[in-house]
Amino acid sequence: MFFQRGMKKQVYIAYTGGTIGMKKTSKGYAPVYGYLEQQMALMPEFRDPAMPDYTIHEYVPLLDSSNMTPDNWLEIAQDIAANYDKYDGFIVLHGTDTMTYTASALPFMLHGLGKPVIITGSQIPLCNVRNDARENLITALMIASGFFIPEVCLYFGTKLLRGCRSVKVSADGFNAFASPNFPPLGTAGVGIEISKDLILKPAPGTKALVVQKFSEPMVGTLRLFPGIPAEIVSNMLQAPLKGLVLGTYGVGNGPQDKRFIAALKEASDRGVVIVNCTQCLQGRVSMGDYVTGSALAKAGVISGFDMTTEAALAKLFYLFSAGYSPEGVKREMQKNLRGELTLP
């Protein structure tokens, strides 16, 4: 379903679902087609001369983000590509639960991006008297239309974050997202301040936006816990799994249990790519600091440096889908491709 307004700077709003456009019903809040557009039409802020014109595309069905899959990421990427030449910027309205997964996947799917793609949503629907939806949406529209930011970003609660650096840190707070290992790209207070020196530059020679499909779904994540049975690790690493993000302790440590290490080595030797990402919110993996980290390296586990779990998972999707061999995936995982990691 499309709704369109006049002619100024043009922003395309891909409304995938989520709390921001929900309506209160007898059974609780639920997505209703056309309701978001109706609410925006009632608010004079969206008709202010300072605001861009916008087009709303409602997805069918509107999804709770808990139901998002890589196929939905592809749908969003292809939607942006199909409308790329007609708009100055793009907004993806999305539920908060898996927002950071989409924000991490799209940078690896959208090759040659030269315009802003801002992912946002809200904790309270726009229809409520008290909500965070209004500010998030208004500021996202202004950023998408007013700044040269050729990246996929996440805007929420006054902060503009690089999408593939973002994590969700609160289930119910208005400042629900953070970028623990990289500064915000911008902040919104009295004015909108963008840190231009942090913004990625478009790849030289890039003329067209190209979508990379995630056709290889056989990757996953496993978070360690004290006493984790080696059998669980071994079973997780069985075919058809091709890549695993291993959530370790501290600077990348894990148990020295011989069966645990043997399970990792056996899988690595047959081509499973195992990426070490810390469970800690801040900091980076440094597997040489402790014996317990060195043992993982000797088993073939590679460092994820300061990547988020979401970014590491998306990167595995991307590299396997792009046809890299396991050795090629290991090599590329340790390069900074989309601003997702800080090299030592």
SS in 3 state form for 304-320? CCCCCHHHHHHHHHHHH
Residue in 136, 134, 131, 84 with CA at minimum distance from that of residue 106: 84
Q: What is the CATH number of the domain that holds 317?
A: 3.40.50.40
Q: Are residues 206 and 226 in the same domain?
A: no
Cis upstream peptide for 61 (omega within 30°): yes
If asked whether residues 284 and 164 sit together in one domain, one would say no
Q: Is 257 annotated as a binding residue?
A: no
Query: Which of these three, 145, 178, 211, is where a domain ends?
Result: 211
**CA–CA separation, 155 and 114 (whole Å):** 18
Convert the pLDDT of each residue in 38-97 to its tens digit. Answer: 999 999 999 999 999 999 999 999 998 999 999 999 999 999 999 999 999 999 999 999
* Residue-wise pLDDT tens digits, 293-340: 799 999 999 999 999 999 999 999 999 999 999 999 999 999 999 999
Residue 29 lies in a domain: yes
Residues 161 and 269 placed together within one structural domain of the fold: no
Question: 150-167 pLDDT, tens per residue?
Answer: 999 999 999 999 999 999
AA letter at 282: Q
Angle, helices 99-109 vs 70-82, to 10°: value is 50
> Do residues 295 and 261 make contact, with C-beta atoms less than 8 angstroms apart?
yes
Phi, psi for residue 322 in degrees, rounded to 5: -80, -5
Q: Among the three residues 211, 241, 275, which one is the final residue of a domain in this structure? A: 211
Query: Strand pairing of 89-93 and 110-111?
Result: unpaired
> 303 and 287 in contact (C-beta within 8 Å)?
yes
User: Is 344 a domain residue?
Assistant: no
**13 and 67 share a domain?**
yes
DSSP 295: H
Sequence-ordered list of residues with C-beta below 8 angstroms from that of 277, at least 6 positions apart, any chain: 245, 246, 247, 248, 285, 304, 307, 308, 309, 312
- For residues 52 and 131, membership in a common domain is answered with yes
Q: What is the pTM of this model?
A: 0.95
The two most distant CA atoms of the chain are separated, in Å, by 67
CA 233/CA 260 separation, integer angstroms = 7
Of 242, 265, 133, 153, nearest in space to 198 by CA:
153
76 in helix, strand or coil?
helix
Q: Let me know whether 198 and 175 are in one domain.
A: yes
139 given a catalytic annotation: no
The domain boundary residue, chosen from 211, 227, 261? 211
Residue 341 lies in a domain: no
Q: Are residues 235 and 323 in the same domain?
A: yes
Identify whether residues 97 and 223 lie together within a single domain: no
Residue 343 covered by a domain: no
- Kindly report which listed range (74-83, 127-136, 214-223, 269-278) carries the lowest average pLDDT score: 214-223
- Residue 96 annotated as part of some ligand binding site: yes
Both 257 and 206 in one domain: the answer is no
Range of the domain at 56: 2-211
Question: Which of 96, 120, 248, 308 is labelled catalytic?
Answer: 96
Do 115 and 258 belong together in one domain?
A: no
Contact present, 39 and 15 (Cβ < 8 Å): no
The radius of gyration of the chain from alpha carbons, rounded to an integer in Å, stands at: 21
Q: Please compute the mean of the pLDDT values over residues 7-32 and round it to a whole number.
A: 91
From the list 19, 100, 120, 309, the catalytic residue is 19
Tell me 253's DSSP state.
B
> Are both 101 and 177 inside the same structural domain?
yes
pLDDT value at position 2?
54
Number of structural domains the chain divides into: 2
In a domain, 339, yes or no: no
Residue 25 annotated as part of some ligand binding site: no
96 is catalytic: yes
Share of the chain above pLDDT 70, in %: 97
